[in-house]
Structure 1
C-alpha cells in the first residue's frame, strides 16, 4: 500500500480504553480526544507535529490522547491504554515515559519488555508491542492529562 489512511487508524486507536478504579461515574467525568500528527524534524533538530490524513510508508505518526476531567472532583487511579494501530509499528517513543507495554493487550510490564530466549533475557522488538498503558495517579478537577506514542507506517 503506497499510503496509509491515518483517519482509519485513528478510529482504531480511539478504541483506547480507560479504567477508573475509584470513580463510578466515568462516562460523565472523563472526556478523551485523540489526534494523529506527522512528526517532522527540521534541519536544526527541532520537532514539530503536523495534522495528517494519509502518510506513506516510513512516516512517523504520533497518536496523542488527551483526557479531560469534566467534573469538580479529582479523579484518582486512572489507567489509560492506547493500542498500536494495525499497519503501524511502535518506535519506542512515548510521553510520559512511565508507559508500560504489552504484546497481548492483557499483561503489562515496564519497558523495554523482555523475554527469555535460550536461557538469556532479551528485549522484545517494538514491532511486537500491541498496547501501551499509563497509570495516572491523580487527574485534578477540570484539568487534563495527555499520553502519546509514536509509530511508523508499515
Structure 2
C-alpha cells in the first residue's frame, strides 16, 4: 500500500496529543505504545489481529494505543486522542465505544456526528471523521488503559 509506513509515522507523531487535566509531570508518568494490526475475521466471525506493515485498499486496520501510568500515583481526568490518517476511513468501530469524534480535531461530540442539511439533521459520513477522543476519568498507579479504532485503507 502506497505510503502506509509514512502514514504510520505521521500517526505516531500526532497520537502524542494527550491532554492531562490537573496532573503535573505528565511526561514521566504516562507512557504510550501504539500498534497497528490487520483485522482478520474467520468463517465463524472470530476476529484476530495480525501485525501489519503494508496493506492494500479495503484492508481493515486497528490502531490501538495503550497508556500506562508508570508512577505510584493515580492520574485523573485524562483525555487521549487518536487521529484518523488522511488515506484511511473510520469504520465506526471504537473501543471503548464511549469515544467522541471530530471532523476538525477541535470540536468533539458523541457519535454518530450530526449536521444540518437543508434544515434536517443528518449523520456525518464516517469518511469525514478525523479524530477520536476518549476521557479516562481514572488511570490507577502502575496500571494501563487501552483505546482503539478501526479504519479501512482507502
TM-score tier by shorter-chain length is: over 0.9
1:22 CA displacement? 1.6
After TM superposition, the score normalised by the length of structure 1 is: 0.96
Q: CA RMSD in A?
A: 0.8
Q: Distance in 1 between matches of 2:89 and 2:112?
A: 15
1:70 CA displacement? 0.3
Q: Which residue of structure 1 lines up, in the alignment, with residue 68 of structure 2?
A: 68
Q: Distance in 1 between matches of 2:28 and 2:138?
A: 17
Q: Could you tell me which of 6, 11, 14 is aligned with 1:13?
A: 11
Long gaps (5+) in structure 1: none
Q: Distance in 1 between matches of 2:61 and 2:135?
A: 23
3-state secondary structure, aligned to 1:39: strand
3-state secondary structure, aligned to 2:147: strand
Q: Which residue of structure 2 lines up, in the alignment, with residue 86 of structure 1?
A: 86
Q: Distance in 1 between matches of 2:44 and 2:117?
A: 41
After TM superposition, the score normalised by the length of structure 2 is: 0.96
Which residues in structure 2 correspond to 1:27-106 (within 5 Å)?
Answer: 27-106=27-106
Q: Which residue of structure 1 lines up, in the alignment, with residue 136 of structure 2?
A: 136
1:5 CA displacement? 4.4
1:9 CA displacement? 2.0
Q: Distance in 2 between matches of 1:24 and 1:11?
A: 28
Q: Distance in 2 between matches of 1:100 and 1:60?
A: 20
Q: Which residue of structure 2 lines up, in the alignment, with residue 151 of structure 1?
A: 151
For these two proteins, the number of residue pairs brought into alignment is 152
